[in-house]
Amino acid sequence: MAEFTLDLNEDQKQVRDWLHGFAKDVMRPAAAEWDEREETPWPVIQEAAKLGIYSLDFYAQQFFDPTGLGIPMTMEELFWGDAGIALSIVGTGLAAVGVIANGTEEQIGTWIPQMYGDADDVKVAAFCSSEPDAGSDVASMRTRAVYDEAKDEWVLNGTKTWATNGGIAGVHVVVAVVDPELGSKGHASFIVPPNTPGLSQGQKFKKHGIRASHTAEVVLENVRVPGHCLLGGKEKLDERLAKARERARSSGEAGGGGRVKNAAMATFEASRPAVGAMAVGTARAAYEEALEYATTREQFGRPIIDNQGVAFQLADMRTQIDAARLLVWRASWMATTGKPFTSAEGSMSKLFASETAKKVTAQAIQILGGNGFTREYPVERMHRDAAIYTIFEGTSEIQRLVIARTLSGMPIR
């Protein structure tokens, strides 16, 4: 019988140490500058590409790690370095996951390489799902995709918001409504190739945290894409919509009756443990800063860690971080080995890790006192960055809803 272990193997340790070195030597020295500039850190992405960190090959290797730990390990180390820069480096991955979750093998092979470019010509990609009136409520999505059978083209119209790399990306993956009567089950994902007429960047957001990551609206005005840009193909879409309509008729309500794959939700379900790993990385970074400060800062003639009020906080911080990591690793292992999330384990990992990051970074500021409130120390930036984890890719409230409905057997709409 195989021995149970939570130890990383030697290959994984080498990758982890390599990523940690990049995060420590390249990302951290640049973090404050790009946070202040609120711009995409192209030089850092370029350096990551030259080293092979920002590449299709690297992420494919981690994605296909048979233990499932390659991606969460990568995310934790990069986000330990800096969340804003890290999101600029890994943001393309959400669009790639959207293609992997919904596309054919040919589409995966065609479009994902174009999302990254190469070390001499770096590209980024964007996943566009949220809208001004449809964030958590994906059933309220208004962006429409209409099929022009005569030209075998899809015509997209609408506005997307909160899109990482939106407008500056080469390839955009856009979720749109193809059958409004089916609610969230009437959605499909489309590739919008580089330089497609009608796609433009709207408002660029000035954010509380992760400010080195570009976030903007994407406006689609009569954007025409070839039929082969429908992820999964039209035959598969028609089959899925027919099943959804039949279930809606049998249940007596549009969009009701059983679960049918939804394009946006399929992407989020696949990526939630990775977001949890991002949160673990930020929490760990703040904890380490607080621990070092507490062991070197003296008050009343002794290090402040000698005070139980500080020591107990650090004990709780470390315990919560380790628990969050274990939840993330479990969900990642389950996803890789094909075990279903019967208790919404993916959402559990994202919920607990994101809430842990917010709490731990706030405790780090408290331990550093006035220094923690200044930009001279990185915990202030980490705390601002951590706020996003309980919001994007499903708020904490949505995660709790998913978990509760999964446990109760109610449909997740």
Phi, psi of 4 (to 5 degrees): -75, 135
- Structural tokens at position 117: 């470019």
CA distance linking residue 271 with residue 257, whole number of Å: 26
What would you report as the CA-atom Rg of the chain, rounded to the nearest whole angstrom? Answer: 22
* Whether the model pTM is above 0.85: yes
Instruction: Return the SS3 of 345.
Output: helix
Nearest-angstrom CA–CA distance, 413 and 405: 10
Give the pair of three-digit tokens for residue 121.
């010509």
Q: Which two tokens stand for residue 127?
A: 């996943």
Q: How far apart are CA 139 and CA 244, in angstroms?
A: 14
Residues 6+ apart with CB under 8 A from 112: 56, 96, 99, 100
Phi-psi region of 138 (alpha: psi -120 to 50; beta: other; left: phi over 0): alpha
The question of whether 221 is a catalytic residue gets the answer no
How far is 372 from 368, CA to CA, in rounded Å? 5
Query: Which residue among 47, 217, 380, 393 is the active-site one?
Result: 393
pLDDT at 77: 98
Q: Exposed, middle or buried, 18 (CB in 10 Å: 0-12/13-18/19+)? A: middle
Residue with tokens 């030209």: 151
**Dihedral sign computed on CA atoms, order 241, 246, 252, 257:** negative
The number of helix segments (H) and strand segments (E) in the chain equals 14, 11
Task: State which amino acid sits at residue 203.
Answer: Q
Q: Which residue has the tokens 């994007």?
A: 392
Q: Residue 349 — φ and ψ, nearest 5°?
A: -65, -40
Contact 267, 97 (CB under 8 A): yes
Among the listed residues 27, 90, 24, 87, the one whose alpha carbon sits nearest the alpha carbon of residue 63 = 90
Which residue bears the tokens 């380790």? 322
Per-residue pLDDT, 125:
97
Give the three-state DSSP class for 219.
strand
pLDDT number for residue 122: 95
In the numeric block, which tokens belong to residue 10?
Answer: 């030697």
Look at residue 285 in the predicted model and tell me its pLDDT: 98
Residue-by-residue pLDDT tens, the chain, 413 positions: 457 788 899 999 999 999 999 999 999 999 999 999 999 999 999 999 999 999 988 998 998 999 999 999 999 999 999 999 999 999 999 899 889 889 999 999 999 999 999 889 999 999 999 999 876 667 789 999 999 999 999 999 999 999 999 999 999 999 999 999 888 889 999 999 999 999 999 999 999 999 999 999 999 999 999 999 999 999 999 999 998 888 877 765 544 444 445 555 555 566 789 999 999 999 999 999 999 999 999 899 999 999 999 999 999 999 999 999 999 999 999 999 989 898 999 999 999 999 999 999 999 999 999 999 999 999 999 999 999 999 988 899 999 999 999 999 876 65
Asked if 389 and 358 count as a contact pair (C-beta separation under 8 A), the reply is yes
